[in-house]
Amino acid sequence: MGARRVVIGVDSSTQAAKAVAVDVDTGAVLGTGRAPHHVTTGAARESDPEQWWQALSTALAATTWAHRADAVSIAGQQHGLVTLDAAGAPVRPAVLWNDVRAAPQAAALVAEFGAAAWAARAGSVPTAAFTAAKWRRLTEHEPEAARRVAAVRLPHDYLTERLTGEARTDRGDASGTGWWTPAGYDTALLEHLGLPVEFLPTVVAPGTAVPARPGTPLRPGTPVAPGTGDNMAAALGLGLTPGVPVVSLGTSGTAYAVTRGRPADPTGTVAGFADALAGWLPLACTLNCTRAVDRIADLLGRDRDAVEPAGDTVVLPYLDGERTPNLPHAAGLIHGLRHDTTGGQLLQAAYDGAAHALLTALDDVLRAGGEPIDRDVPLLLIGGGARGNAWRDTVHRLSGRPVRIPVADELVALGAAAQAAGLLTGEAADAVARRWGTAEGPLLEPLPRDDAALQRIADTLHNAGNLFDAAPGRP
């Protein structure tokens, strides 16, 4: 038997850098590492990219495999705007995906080109999350900083470049900027935005590797894969085949599927991302998921699983504004409160409200990519929330589908590890993950879908539309 081959995959997320060292042949996790990130609170959601590098170095070292790994790949949070000067230093803190201050700029961009044109060109109608809107806001609100910018990166690009010295990205993460098309960067849009295409990293093909340079936590010469966005890496980590729906419950919530057809949704509900291989990853994202429900549990002084049937109460937990539906200035709302409403009912209503947008978007996700809607296909439930009983029960009751809960942890990092493993074996990254069995886990048989609860939430959302539209914006 030959020497053991080990790869490291990294998830540089909003909250932390997480690394896993994985045996290429068996998929066994041999070491892990984690280091936190600091994110500002309030209207701004920003992080210093230098601390990402320090957290990455700490997490890699904690696996104990950094200096002997055979290949490495980094996945990172999507959409973040990293601006660098001519020396490669950050001009200012990175603006993160969940910073909604660019909502006016996103609306202006949609008005300038039209939603249908955006969907046709970029695959998505931009919201405040998209990098293009964040860049527009920077040029309008911080022109002096914008003039010092010599390079623009996404979070995973920044870290990969620190490891290798080369400015590279992949089609998956690039598709979340608003300025990438299947034919490459949209040079006309970039000119409109005042962003030279030379400021952007090269989009490289899957399976392309460059060596780690000296002075990094890795052994010099270690092959480094292109990396990708966190959602694309999770799809790799599950070894997704087309048409299998996924709901991920984390700080944000996402509903997505790998599809064979290129999505282009002019309503903006579904973002038409590329995956990290040759397919597509239509996706709906909510800003308010586990963190919002945990906050409501804290306000109620209850354990997060201390729920009771919600009755007629509706909670829309839009504590940070919302992306799906696109209500960046919305606040949380409670409707139907009675004298006999209990804390447990309120908490369950918060779970229902957080899950509603994700589950009702699933059909749109599949439809956008041209995949059949087969409710007999199990929904894969992942993310930190999938470990909680209340979250599982809520998704099970509201989805009307069989629900499978993969037992593998850190699927984003595992997807990056599968990408790194493919550099050594010649396999596609999703095939590596299927060989590792990462999507295996218990299956919950379907329940009748709770259409009454879904309709109650939809009616409340519709009736609250004017209230949300009138909500004051944040700077």
Active site positions, annotated: 230
Residue 417's closest CA among 454, 327, 425? 425
Q: Distance between CA atoms of 261 and 324, rounded to whole angstroms?
A: 22
Q: What are phi and psi of 123, to 5 degrees?
A: 85, -10
- Using the Cα atoms of residue 363, residue 369, residue 373 and residue 375 in order, give the sign of their dihedral: negative
Residue 275's closest CA among 238, 322, 327? 238
For residue 259, what is the DSSP state? B
Q: Are 474 and 329 in contact (CB under 8 A)?
A: yes
Q: Distance between CA atoms of 99 and 278, rounded to whole angstroms?
A: 30
Cα-to-chain-centroid distance, residue 80: 11
The DSSP line for 211-248 is EPPTTSSSPTT-EE---EEHHHHHHHHHT--TT--EEE
**Helix 389-399 vs helix 343-368: angle between axes, to the nearest 10 degrees?**
50
Q: Distance between CA atoms of 143 and 147, rounded to whole angstroms?
A: 6
Alpha-carbon separation of residue 331 from 327, 335, 465, 469 (angstroms): 9, 13, 12, 11
Provide the token pair at 206. 């899957």
